[in-house]
């Protein structure tokens, strides 16, 4: 199944979000004991993203989460 396109990405750790409420908010998640200081940037346009070719946009490869896109099925191409 194809995954829905995310709407935002963290400019520090590159985590994606499907919730437009996080846009321009600090990323508050703590990962491996380190707090992310990033900011979620909007990526609402279709050309902000490309479908992951490793998993064909499904987010999984042979039943496991795709390494390249972290199981999202999309790669952000916007960088600011």
Q: Which residues bind Zn ion (CB under 5 A)?
A: 10, 12-13, 27, 36, 38, 52, 54-55, 66, 68-69
Which 8-state DSSP code applies to residue 27?
Answer: P
Two structure tokens written together for 42: 């909007």
Closer by beta carbon to Zn ion, 14 or else 44: 14
CB of 45 to Zn ion, least distance (A): 20
> Distance between CA atoms of 37 and 54, rounded to whole angstroms?
29
Task: Give the residue among 46, 38, 52 at the shortest CA–CA distance from 9.
Answer: 38
Location of structure tokens 């946009």: 57
Nearer to Zn ion, 22 or 55 (CB): 55
In the complex, what is the shortest distance from the CB of residue 50 to Zn ion, in angstroms, rounded to a whole number?
11
CB of 44 to Zn ion, least distance (A): 18
């Amino acid at each position: 199944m194809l995954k829905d396109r995310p709407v935002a990405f963290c400019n520090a750790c590159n985590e994606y979000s499907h919730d437009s409420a996080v846009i321009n908010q600090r990323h508050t998640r703590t990962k491996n004991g380190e707090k992310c200081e990033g900011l979620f940037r909007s990526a609402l346009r279709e050309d902000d993203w490309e479908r992951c070719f490793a998993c064909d946009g499904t987010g999984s490869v042979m039943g496991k989460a795709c390494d390249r896109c972290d199981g999202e099925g999309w790669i952000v191409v916007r960088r600011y």
